[in-house]
Amino acid sequence: MKEYSSFKEIDRDLKILKLQTKIDQEEIKLNIERTKSAMSPLSLMGSMAGSILQKAFILKAVTKLTGLKKVTAKVKG
């Protein structure tokens, strides 16, 4: 435990702690806003579309590299 030799030291440390508390509160506010933005319907749709495009690109690249071709079946009816 820290020992203080004057009230001036105590006041300085209290001021630092108050400032750290304010910084922490502002960081929490920013994180909440970022989370709200990330969870918005528009953001989620964009993320989903990006994921689908990424998977399609990977599938196409793997198909080209391995020389596999898409097999389609014709149904007689």
Q: What stretch of H or E contains 73? A: none
Q: Provide the residue ranges of all domains of the chain, joining segments of one domain with +.
A: 5-64
DSSP state of 64: H
The CA dihedral of 12, 15, 20, 23, to the nearest 10 degrees, is: -140
- pLDDT digits over 23-65, tens only? 999 999 999 998 988 888 877 788 888 888 888 888 888 888 7
User: pTM surpassing 0.75?
Assistant: no
pLDDT of residue 61: 82
